[in-house]
Amino acid sequence: MSDLTDLRPLFADYARGGISAEQLVTLEAALRADADLRRDFIEYINVDSALSDLAALSESEVAEIEVAKHRDESTIRVSRHSASFTWAAAKAWRAHRVAAIAGSVAATLLFATILWVANPFLDNDVQVAMILTRVDAALAYAGQRYDGAELAVGEYRLDRGLLHLRFHGGVTVYIEAPARFDAVSGNRLLLRSGRLSANVPPEGVGFTVDTPDAEVIDFGTEFSIDVESSASEVHVFKGLVRVQPKSLKDGQAGQAVSLQSSQAVKIDNASKETVGIQLATDRFIRSFDEPKRTYPRAVKQLSPIAYYRMPIRDKGLVADPPQYSGVVLTGDGVRPPHACGVDAGGSLRVRAESTGRGGRVDSPPPLGTGQFTLAVFVYLESKTPDGTVATNIRGAEGNFELALDDKCRLQGTIRDRSGQLRSVTSAAFLPLRAWRLIVMKADGDHLRVYVDGQLVASVPCATVATSATETVWFGTDAEGAGLWDGRIDELAMFDQALSDSEIAGLYQAALAQMAKPK
């Protein structure tokens, strides 16, 4: 902006609720357009802890405002029915003594009422968000199945799948089932339970997410929220958000905190205290896109016979080439059978409280060269004896399997051309809740297993038996037992034995991509 000083006096008017409608429009437009002004504004405006439970007030509590004129109190609160519709009116007032603000109470309420009437997003007949993408989504509105393309004001329940929404100002929100949420307005959402991720451009500054434990006000950023029965978590990946814990029953509010990039907090439901926690970079679904990445290019340069990227936007197991695609198997659960992948895309989720029960490829590529390599990223949630990563072995048929043994150690198995099964087992255990690149290869001389580019186990082994039509299973075996517990991503099959340097190169390519900011 050419002259910031012309707008600085509006900060004080804004903070005490004395700003006019015209001035408010001017200030909000300037905040969206000017990053320096937003920074100055954030420094000036402190969210008043006495207003932290604003959205929870009943209409009867509004009457307390008039009583507050005559008492020496430090705060003033306004009913959610007159002020919770806008982040500007709700959180700009700072704590002042009643003596300083009693005379402006009536005018403030009148101003809020005018804005309420003028705000079209509080009309239940007006759409406040657009559904950009559904992934196997079962959405209910007012207790009924909802298949519309837009969201009106109201309460929603996502029982299955994923939603990608766009609110006003270009704000995009990803919601993962199971979740309960209210679309409050074009710039406000109440997350009652579940997980969401939001990306807020400058035009969407002020987008607010309420939870049972806190109010989260965004100032142009990318953040995620996880709401459970006992706590809410806020994770900031880029930018800045303001987290204001809700008030306790005794009226005492928790301390507001500002979170910057790579910071996260947990707000306890009982105490409303904020505690710093580690940023969860792989828990939340933050994109449905599949960007170009270093690792896939490295894989394709080695000419796999089939490559399963596990894209999150598709329910099926899409392969390259497509004739080897498969299906996702599902059962009972609360999470979808997809989750964040090793990088920005998706992965196949098996168990881990999800509906995922693995995948099946009925028309797999033939394996007839006597050599074989399987490369795959795995993420293990818990120790899972006999958990399967990939296999085509069923009785006397099939020729490969990568799984955990009955002691939860990584084990590779092939059937040689004499019909004998040969296995190699790693002495080490896979770490929990961490991605690892696993490679199993058989070259007609040895069967070897690699973890993150390093050889961990090897045994002598003859030429691999041929395989033409045997079904391939991911995350489970042919009987539906031996389920994996976690995620599987970027699975590539080769009818050749990759060299040690090629395997190390795959891992280096993955590291280069994983090191990029997400």
Q: Where is average pLDDT lowest: 14-18, 65-69, 148-152, 266-270?
A: 65-69
Rounded CA gap, 410 and 12, in Å? 63
Cα torsion 290, 295, 301, 305 to 10°: value is: -70
Q: Where is average pLDDT lowest: 31-40, 165-174, 258-267, 478-487?
A: 31-40
Question: Which range has the top average pLDDT, 40-44, 81-85, 150-154, 370-374?
Answer: 370-374
Specify the CATH architecture of the domain 122-276: Sandwich (2.60)
Whether the per-residue pLDDT at 39 is higher than 70: the answer is no
In the chain, what is the greatest distance between 2 CA atoms, to the nearest angstrom? 95
41: region left, alpha or beta (phi > 0 left; psi from -120 to 50 alpha): alpha
Residue 4 vs residue 483, higher pLDDT: 483
Rounded CA gap, 473 and 311, in Å? 17
Q: What is the pLDDT of residues 119-132, one digit of tens each?
A: 333 345 578 999 99
Helices (H) and strands (E) in the chain — how many of each?
10, 30
294-514 topology per CATH: Jelly Rolls (2.60.120)
* Residue 438 C-alpha from the chain's centroid: 25
What local confidence, expressed as pLDDT, does residue 313 receive? 58
Average pLDDT over residues 355-379: 95
Would 122-276 and 294-514 be classified into the same CATH topology?
A: yes
Average pLDDT over residues 62-68: 44
Rounded CA gap, 226 and 203, in Å? 25
Q: Where are the domains of the chain?
A: 4-120, 122-276, 294-514
Q: What is the pLDDT of residues 204-242, one digit of tens each?
A: 999 999 999 999 999 888 999 999 877 899 999 999 999
Average pLDDT over residues 63-76: 41
What local confidence, expressed as pLDDT, does residue 56 receive? 41
Q: Are 407 and 385 in contact (CB under 8 A)?
A: yes
Average pLDDT over residues 445-468: 96
In the block, residue with structure tokens 């409608």: 21
Q: How far apart are the first and last CA of the chain?
A: 31
What local confidence, expressed as pLDDT, does residue 439 receive? 98
What local confidence, expressed as pLDDT, does residue 514 receive? 62
What local confidence, expressed as pLDDT, does residue 35 receive? 64
What local confidence, expressed as pLDDT, does residue 293 receive? 64
What local confidence, expressed as pLDDT, does residue 286 receive? 85
Beta-strand pair 188-199/208-210: parallel
What local confidence, expressed as pLDDT, does residue 451 receive? 96
* Structure-token pair, residue 69: 């004129």
Whether the per-residue pLDDT at 103 is higher than 50: the answer is no
Whether the per-residue pLDDT at 517 is higher than 60: the answer is no
Q: Are 229 and 220 in contact (CB under 8 A)?
A: no
Q: What is the pLDDT of residues 403-426, one digit of tens each?
A: 999 999 999 999 999 999 999 999
Average pLDDT over residues 330-356: 84
Average pLDDT over residues 178-207: 93
Share of the chain above pLDDT 90, in %: 54
In the block, residue with structure tokens 């919770």: 84
The number of CA neighbours under 13 Å toward the Cβ of 424 is 20
3-state class of 313 per DSSP? coil
Rounded CA gap, 374 and 378, in Å? 12
Q: Where is average pLDDT lowest: 20-24, 47-51, 328-332?
A: 47-51
Q: Is the pTM of this model over 0.75?
A: no
Task: Kindly give, in sequence order, each residue whose CB lies less than 8 Å from that of residue 484, ignoring residues fewer than 6 positions away.
Answer: 350, 351, 358, 378, 380, 384, 387, 388, 389, 475, 476
* Structure-token pair, residue 51: 């207003």
- Residue 392's nearest CA partner among 417, 362, 416, 419 is 362
Q: What is the pLDDT of residues 130-152, one digit of tens each?
A: 999 988 789 999 889 999 999 99
Distances (CA, A) of 266 to 226, 259, 263, 353, 373: 9, 12, 11, 22, 43
Whether the per-residue pLDDT at 109 is higher than 60: the answer is no
Whether the per-residue pLDDT at 102 is higher than 60: the answer is no
What local confidence, expressed as pLDDT, does residue 415 receive? 97
What local confidence, expressed as pLDDT, does residue 79 receive? 35
CB atoms within 10 A of CB 229: 7
Average per-residue pLDDT in the chain?
80
Rounded CA gap, 506 and 436, in Å? 12
Rounded CA gap, 374 and 493, in Å? 5
The b-or-e profile of 64-95 (16+ CB within 10 A means b, else e) is ebeebeeeebebbbbbbebbbbbbbbbbbbbe
* Structure-token pair, residue 117: 């009437």
3-state class of 138 per DSSP? strand
Q: What is the pLDDT of residues 275-317, one digit of tens each?
A: 999 898 778 888 776 555 689 889 999 999 999 988 765 557 8
* Structure-token pair, residue 473: 């299973």
Share of the chain above pLDDT 70, in %: 74
Average pLDDT over residues 470-481: 95
The secondary element (H helix, E strand) that includes residue 319 is strand 319-320
Q: Are 225 and 209 in contact (CB under 8 A)?
A: yes
Residue 437 vs residue 59, higher pLDDT: 437
Average pLDDT over residues 489-508: 96
Whether the per-residue pLDDT at 106 is higher than 50: the answer is no
